[in-house]
Amino acid sequence: MVALSAIPMLFNLFTPSVFGWSTAPWGIFGFPAWLSTTIAWLVWIAIIVVAWIWLYRVARNRNRTGRAEAWQGAADTASAGSTSDAWGEDSGNKANAWGEDFGKKADAWGESFGKKADAWGENFGHRAEHWGTQYEQHHEARKLGAAHVLITFALALLAAGGAAIWAHSAGSPVPGLAGTAIASLVAALAVFALSLIVAGIRGRNTGWIGFLSACGVVTLLFTSVLPWGTQFQLFGTLSSGGQNAPGAVLLAGNTSLDLNSLDSEDINDQENFTIWQFAGNSTVTLPETHPVVVDVRVLGGNIRESGATTSRAAGPLLAKTFSNTAENNDSATRVTIYLVFGNARVVVPDEKSSGTADTKKPSANQATTEQLEQLTAELEKVEWQLEEPGLSKAEQRSLEAERTQLKQDIKDLELEMAR
């Protein structure tokens, strides 16, 4: 209570009375008013000065404390930085040591692998050389001797010469030099066969005798299966009239056999013609009077007959026979077509068409006109089918081939009508 009472009293003591606030008892001491006011101002100035000095010192002490703490923090940071540098240096040293160790191990592994590879290559080279030597020794031990080969060739030449003389003097079913060549080839192959039997019994390799025997067998196969004088052609167009050659062989292309010349020739003996073709188109034109029978065998494709009536067969494994005569004539010329892939067409005269049995025949122009209309209708139908959606590639190719054939037939009929 005393302290609480002293604070306002002290405050009043030094409060200037000029502001009307003062109740200071300066008059008790007999001081004039101006003196009490001056004392009060001096006291307050002193209080303000002391307070400012005190605040200045407090602030200065706080700055010193902050700088000290900052210096301490910097010292701590420097200490931490030096520790981090030390850790980084230690990690770098360890990484360098690990890299050097790994490099040494890699060099050692590479050197070891190189040595092993060199050793393996050298070992394989020795083995290959050894195997080559063994094969050479085995071949030398099992090959036919020079005496065996020379005796075989000598006997083959003697047999071929004797067979040629016999075929020339006694006569051969094959006329001309062809029969002599075939007889010589058969005799030489017989000698080669005996030589191969002897070589097999002795456990020897065939060598050149085996190679020449294989070539001779292939040659004899062609000469025995194909008639002598058959025309050979790999690609392109092969045309024949059937008089100069008994057959034709074509790999890919078009074959054309026109037999109209048989009507103007006096042929007493039966003549046959055979066509072997792998891929393409084959056309046979039959004569009007001379009897001809055509056998067509197609593995995959089309067979078409053109005449007073038109017939067509398409698909795999086709076989069909055509004739320009209704009677079975043993003296008829027989034509055989063997076609693997393609189209076979047989042109039969209108009066002799195998599919016509009417007693009353229309005129040639009328029949041709009707056939042209029929082909045109078929062509329109094929073109309509080609426009349908959902066709497979095989169906599209088949329809396109049929359209091409129909266009060719129409063109041939138009040319025939223009004559």
- Domain range annotation of the chain: 1-142, 146-225, 231-353, 362-419
pLDDT tens digits for range 223-256: 766 666 677 788 888 888 766 667 888 888 899 8
Which pLDDT value is given to residue 19? 43
Bridge partners of residue 239, in order along the sequence:
256
Q: Secondary structure of 357-392 in the HEC alphabet?
A: CCCCCCCHHHHHHHHHHHHHHHHHHHHHHHCCCCCC
- Report whether 367 contacts 350 (CB < 8 A): yes
Q: What is the C-alpha to C-alpha distance for residues 375 and 303, in angstroms, rounded to an integer?
A: 16
- Report whether 314 contacts 353 (CB < 8 A): no
Give the H or E element holding residue 100: helix 33-142
Which pLDDT value is given to residue 127? 83
**How does residue 32 score in pLDDT terms, banded at 50, 70 and 90?**
low
Burial of 4 (0-12, 13-18, 19+ CB in 10 A): exposed
Q: Which amino acid is at 255?
A: T
β-pairing, 333-347 with 311-323?
unpaired
Decide: helix, strand or coil at residue 402: helix
Contacts of 245 (CB under 8 A, 6+ apart): 229, 230, 231
**How does residue 355 score in pLDDT terms, banded at 50, 70 and 90?**
very low
Torsion of CA 259, 264, 267, 270, to 10 degrees: 20
Which pLDDT value is given to residue 359? 39
Mean pLDDT of 79-108: 72
Question: Who has greater pLDDT, 37 or 22?
Answer: 37
Say whether pLDDT at 357 is over 60: no
Residue 28 DSSP class: G
* Residue pointed to by tokens 């191969």: 196
Say whether pLDDT at 146 is over 80: yes
Q: What is the C-alpha to C-alpha distance for residues 407 and 386, in angstroms, rounded to an integer?
A: 15
Mean pLDDT of 191-220: 87
Contacts of 212 (CB under 8 A, 6+ apart): 192
Burial of 119 (0-12, 13-18, 19+ CB in 10 A): exposed
- Report whether 24 contacts 53 (CB < 8 A): no
Which pLDDT value is given to residue 240? 81
Q: What is the C-alpha to C-alpha distance for residues 233 and 280, in angstroms, rounded to an integer?
A: 13
**How does residue 360 score in pLDDT terms, banded at 50, 70 and 90?**
very low
Say whether pLDDT at 269 is over 80: no
Q: What is the C-alpha to C-alpha distance for residues 136 and 143, in angstroms, rounded to an integer?
A: 10
Decide: helix, strand or coil at residue 349: coil
Whole-number mean pLDDT of the chain?
Answer: 76
**How does residue 177 score in pLDDT terms, banded at 50, 70 and 90?**
low
Tokens of 7: 């604070």
Q: What is the C-alpha to C-alpha distance for residues 105 and 113, in angstroms, rounded to an integer?
A: 12
Q: What is the pTM of this model?
A: 0.43
Q: What is the C-alpha to C-alpha distance for residues 133 and 366, in angstroms, rounded to an integer?
A: 85
Burial 71-81 (b: 16+ CB within 10 A, else e): eeeeeeeeeee
